[in-house]
């Protein structure tokens, strides 16, 4: 049966990982796959998470299914983190939400829900955006359009072009926005730009679809929620896909949240039933472990404080790696100013070099990252930064 299907090209990121594994150069550097790494190059289990696992081992008495919406404590804790303690929409009972299998699961079920809302639904995504957005949203049958976002020449956001394109949207259109730490560019909207986006959404009536996978990795847990909270509190409807993969380090536990802010609490009931029915048609119940861990951490003041300081540590480390790389590039005689990397946020940045230069640095110096020039900042460390800078300078 399956011979009728075409052979697909290997996934570029997975192909890159395989090439990295096979490379015998002991000085090879991996800046490809998007996982946080510590100074030793490991993706550790966070201490707060390890403690929560001990608690859960003792507390868990059954492996029966959890409810279709997931752990209620997890949902409540995550909504407070995203929307704030005094959120008006939470108080007004206007938020439907389910625990989802990762941020990907959340993106997919929200897309399926949107597809139920009408024919020819259109989602506008930034150019560029995270590559997985396209299959996750497209597989639900939604049409994808792009709005200009990042300009490699000026090494920053082309906000005027973004807004000019979004002015063409109308009621019924959906606009995907990265809550913080834009993947792949690391270039985030300023608070003033979020204010402009809100005004445009109020004027045009488009529905913001916010994907937030790196809360706390930009400027801080509260600071990074500015755009989410602004839109959530001031628009009738907003949808949010959140991930705990990075900021709780729960990659393999597939822990995410799909939230729908509705105009009234009566519509919230409809949305809650519909999103659960979407999930039922795909995977029924979410996995338990990750959500149960986040629930334990967010409900316990001392564990929550410990988790917050671990997130701060990861963020500060990535910021100092950015500074270190910029300095090393200058020290090694780079013919360009890379200080734009210091203004960018989170785990990723575009180096803004050509695909030919990316391939050259890979083949000659065993430095691995995707052709778009997106690098995982967390893959840099004290040991490899000098070699990395020299390798980059040699191809500039
Ligand atoms: C922008 C963005 N959204 C969502 C996700 C989903 O993450 P996960 O499904 O691992 O929770 C990621 C992961 O890399 C991401 O970069």
**Mean of pLDDT values over 295-324:** 98
Work out the pLDDT band at 148, boundaries 50, 70, 90: very high
Say how many Å lie between the CA of residue 4 and the centre of ligand 1: 32
- What's the pLDDT tens digit per position in 260-274? 999 999 999 999 999
CA distances for 136 relative to 103, 140, 245, angstroms: 10, 7, 17
Looking from the CA of residue 182, the nearest atom of ligand 1 is 1
Q: Which CATH class is domain 65-299?
A: alpha beta
pLDDT of 15 strictly over 90: no
Nearest CA to ligand 1 atom 6: 103
Average pLDDT, the chain: 96
| Distance in angstroms (rounded) separating the CA atoms of residues 38 and 383 | 12
Label residue 10 by pLDDT band (50, 70, 90).
confident
Ligand 1, CB within 6 Å, residue ranges: 34, 102-104, 130, 178, 183, 211, 213, 243, 245, 251, 256
Residues pairing with 173 in the sheet: 122
Positions annotated as catalytic residues are: 130, 211, 246
The preferred substitution site among 133, 182, 245 for testing ligand 1, maximizing ligand atoms within 8 Å of CB, is 245
In DSSP notation, 342-382 reads HH--TTEEE----HHHHHHHHHHH-EE--TT-EEEGGG--T
Find out whether 75 and 97 touch, Cβ atoms under 8 Å. Answer: yes
* pLDDT mean over 185-189: 97
State percent of the chain over pLDDT 90: 96
Q: How far is the CA of 394 from the centre of ligand 1 (A)?
A: 33
| Among protein residues, the one whose CA lies closest to atom 14 of ligand 1 | 34
Average pLDDT estimate for 115-143: 96
> How high is the pLDDT of residue 13?
79
Structure token pair of residue 104: 């990907």
Confidence category of residue 160, pLDDT binned at 50, 70, 90 = very high
Give CATH 3.90.1150.10 domain extents, the chain.
Answer: 2-46+309-395
User: Does pLDDT of 33 surpass 90?
Assistant: no
Is the confidence at residue 9, as pLDDT, over 90? Answer: no
pLDDT tens sequence across 88-122: 999 999 999 999 999 999 999 999 999 999 998 99
Please give the Cα distance from 338 to 330 (Å, whole number): 8
Task: Write down the pLDDT at residue 206.
Answer: 97
Q: Is the CB of residue 342 less than 8 Å from the CB of residue 326?
A: yes
Output the CA 229–ligand 1 centroid distance in Å. Answer: 20
Kindly report the protein residue whose alpha carbon is nearest to atom 12 of ligand 1: 213
pLDDT in tens, 230-258: 999 999 999 999 999 999 999 999 999 99
Q: What is the mean pLDDT of residues 175-186?
A: 97
pLDDT in tens, 340-377: 999 999 999 999 999 999 999 999 999 999 999 999 99
pLDDT at 333: 94
Q: According to the model, what pLDDT value does residue 178 have?
A: 98
Band of pLDDT at residue 280, cut at 50, 70 and 90: very high
**pLDDT tens sequence across 64-79:** 999 999 999 999 999 9
Which residues in the chain are classed under CATH 3.40.640.10? 65-299
What is the mean pLDDT of the segment spanning 221-225? 98
pLDDT at 14 (0 to 100): 81
| 42 has a pLDDT exceeding 90 | yes
- CATH for 2-46+309-395 is 3.90.1150.10
């Amino acid at each position: 049966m399956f011979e009728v299907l075409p052979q697909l090209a290997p996934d570029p990121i997975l192909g890159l990982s395989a090439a990295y594994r096979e490379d015998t150069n002991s000085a090879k550097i991996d800046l490809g796959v998007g996982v946080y790494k510590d100074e030793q190059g490991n993706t550790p289990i966070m201490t707060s998470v390890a403690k929560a696992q001990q608690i859960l081992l003792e507390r868990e008495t059954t492996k029966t299914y959890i409810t279709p919406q997931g752990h209620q404590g997890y949902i409540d804790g995550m909504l407070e983190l995203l929307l704030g303690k005094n959120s008006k929409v939470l108080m007004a009972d206007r938020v439907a939400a389910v625990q989802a299998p990762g941020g990907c699961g959340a993106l997919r079920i929200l897309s399926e829900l949107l597809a139920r809302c009408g024919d020819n639904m259109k989602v506008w995504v930034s150019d560029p955006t995270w590559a997985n957005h396209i299959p996750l949203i497209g597989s639900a049958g939604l049409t994808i359009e792009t709005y200009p976002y990042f300009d490699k020449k000026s090494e920053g956001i082309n906000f005027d072009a973004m807004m000019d394109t979004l002015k063409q949207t109308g009621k019924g259109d959906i606009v995907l926005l990265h809550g913080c730490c834009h993947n792949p560019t690391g270039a985030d909207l300023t608070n003033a730009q979020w204010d402009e986006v809100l005004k445009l959404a109020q004027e045009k009536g488009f529905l913001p679809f916010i994907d937030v996978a790196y809360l706390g990795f930009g400027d801080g847990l509260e600071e990074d929620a500015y755009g989410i909270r602004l839109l959530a509190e001031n628009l009738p409807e907003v949808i949010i896909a959140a991930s705990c993969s990075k900021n709780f380090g729960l990659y393999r536990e597939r822990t995410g949240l799909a939230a729908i802010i509705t105009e009234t609490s009566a519509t919230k009931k409809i949305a809650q039933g519909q999103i659960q029915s979407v999930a039922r048609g795909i995977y029924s119940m979410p996995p338990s472990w990750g959500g149960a861990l986040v629930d334990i951490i967010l409900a316990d003041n001392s564990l929550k404080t410990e988790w917050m300081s671990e997130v701060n540590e990861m963020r500060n480390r990535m910021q100092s790696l950015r500074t270190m790389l910029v300095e090393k590039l200058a020290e090694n005689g780079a013919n360009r100013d890379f200080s734009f990397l210091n203004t960018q946020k989170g785990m990723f940045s575009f180096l803004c070099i050509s695909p030919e230069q990316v391939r050259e640095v890979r083949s000659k110096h065993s430095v691995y990252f995707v052709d778009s020039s997106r690098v995982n900042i967390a893959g840099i460390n004290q040991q490899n930064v000098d070699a990395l800078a020299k390798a980059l300078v040699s191809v500039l």
